[in-house]
Structure 1
């Protein structure tokens, strides 16, 4: 069996109970109830431990693996499995496959954020292809994805994720569940993409506002958004929304950010229309 390669962020999950928790969270039986073949995307199948359990549930598995040696191992291991489909390559450089409705994976921690950006999209360009995504990620990232206002982990990623999907913590995973053991704790999360509860009038502006607001966490919004929004107009908007004029970014919940974004939009379009041309952070 190939040894995990550090440059690909490989750590083999050996704890069967975690595999089973991932499968339960994916709710494969309910997803297959419609009668059509259920396709599941697996990013980084590794040696195929989770893949084998997915195939045993009767689903079509589309696996994307960048490691050439692992691809040979997987082709040999699942040579008699017509429901196993392997693509060799870098997931981030490949077009998003259209067949899968579920994403189930132990993804490399060193590229988790770009993977999430690709499968979730952004406020301006949401990706709603997947009904559910069950992912094994670094625990710290899981905390950021589902953080609430006032917590240390709460940030721009938390707000964007809540705009795009529901996020649930399935379970925490100790280092001992892997071979080799990673330096960090892990967690299984379930993301359920859905339309924004209250869409922003201008999602790109909304995204830019939260990105700038959280860029300097210790600063009040009046200072953090300086140069992006007129200070007096921002103070008036916060007061109008019954928010603390001296508030910091981590004090505002998603509805607060949406209301602030919409309220400031007319002023910003009149004074700085170029904001639409700025590249949107992912």
Structure 2
């Protein structure tokens, strides 16, 4: 029997309700969808997805779990298991090298808490460098605190740099909360299912690299007003006038700005 490894932040989902919510959110289409599952673990979600999709690619780091998955699901014609670290694996090139021409169009996964940020960045890209081949839909089961940051509204205490970066690249929605009791072993925090719909910004930043840097700098010290955090890139009095011109409160903090206000501010700072 394979046991969860703390060093890999393994918490295996056991809740039928959570599994049903994940599958429902994925809106699977049998003849069309090729799913990427990051960290299939024991295969509890994989088994439910396989009858609903055209093909499923699983990426699992744990060699012992890979053996378990091969024994359980290795004979399924629409299942391919890749052993390796998702963060360093080039999925597209690997599939091409295996003579699999079709690429995943959706992601459905229960991902490790400790690498949530890097995984989301690899799936979506960055403000300055979006994913050139975006997925149609990304469904993730993640720590609830992070989920709340992804969907946060301007002015919310949950709004941070991650909020702006992800919302620039995708429409984010909270699907359902998942209690700690839904996992084995039980984590110390609750989780949530979120959906990310990658999108093209109607009015993107003129200089995405500058916007990315500005957001990072703006949220560097959340308790400080924006005019203080940005002093290194724009003179304080000039910034106050610029904020007033953009109808932004001169006393605003970074979390008070909407995505569009961040874009407008970046565009005005030359």
Which category of TM-score, normalised to the shorter sequence, fits these structures?
over 0.9
Moved over 3 A (4+): none
Unaligned runs of 5+ residues in structure 1 are 266-282
What is the match of residue 129 of structure 1? 134
What is the match of residue 21 of structure 1? 21
Given that 2:28 and 2:53 are in contact with CA atoms closer than 8 Å, whether structure 1 keeps it comes out as: no
Q: Does 1:12 align with 2:7?
A: no
The more displaced of 46-55 and 226-235 is: 226-235
What is the match of residue 165 of structure 2? 160
What is the match of residue 53 of structure 1? 48
Whole-Å Cα distance in 2 between the matches of residues 39 and 190 of structure 1? Answer: 17
Whole-Å Cα distance in 2 between the matches of residues 242 and 189 of structure 1? Answer: 32
Q: Does 1:83 align with 2:87?
A: no
Q: 1:259 aligns with which of 241, 246, 264?
A: 264
Q: Does 1:110 align with 2:114?
A: yes
Per the TM alignment, residue 135 of structure 1 is displaced from its structure 2 partner at its CA by 0.5
The aligned runs of 1:138-217 (5 Å cut-off) are: 138-217=143-222
Per the TM alignment, residue 178 of structure 1 is displaced from its structure 2 partner at its CA by 0.6
What is the match of residue 120 of structure 1? 124
Q: Alignment partner of 2:87: what SS?
A: helix
Q: Alignment partner of 2:269: what SS?
A: helix
Could you give the per-residue CA deviations for residues 95-138 of structure 1, whole angstroms, max 9, x where no partner exists?
14371000000001110000001001111111152000010000
Unaligned runs of 5+ residues in structure 2 are 96-102
Q: Alignment partner of 1:92: what SS?
A: coil
What is the match of residue 245 of structure 1? 250
Whole-Å Cα distance in 2 between the matches of residues 167 and 141 of structure 1? Answer: 12
Whole-Å Cα distance in 1 between the matches of residues 81 and 266 of structure 2? Answer: 43
Give the RMSD, CA atoms, in angstroms: 1.2
* TM-score after normalising by structure 1: 0.90
What is the match of residue 272 of structure 1? none
Q: 1:94 aligns with which of 81, 89, 96?
A: 89
Whole-Å Cα distance in 2 between the matches of residues 166 and 129 of structure 1? Answer: 13
Whole-Å Cα distance in 2 between the matches of residues 163 and 49 of structure 1? Answer: 33
Q: Alignment partner of 1:93: what SS?
A: coil
The size of the alignment, in residue pairs, is 260
Q: Alignment partner of 1:216: what SS?
A: coil
Per the TM alignment, residue 197 of structure 1 is displaced from its structure 2 partner at its CA by 2.8
Whole-Å Cα distance in 2 between the matches of residues 222 and 15 of structure 1? Answer: 47
Per the TM alignment, residue 162 of structure 1 is displaced from its structure 2 partner at its CA by 1.2
Whole-Å Cα distance in 1 between the matches of residues 260 and 52 of structure 2? Answer: 40
What is the match of residue 240 of structure 2? 235
Q: Does 1:65 align with 2:60?
A: yes
Given that 1:163 and 1:197 are in contact with CA atoms closer than 8 Å, whether structure 2 keeps it comes out as: no
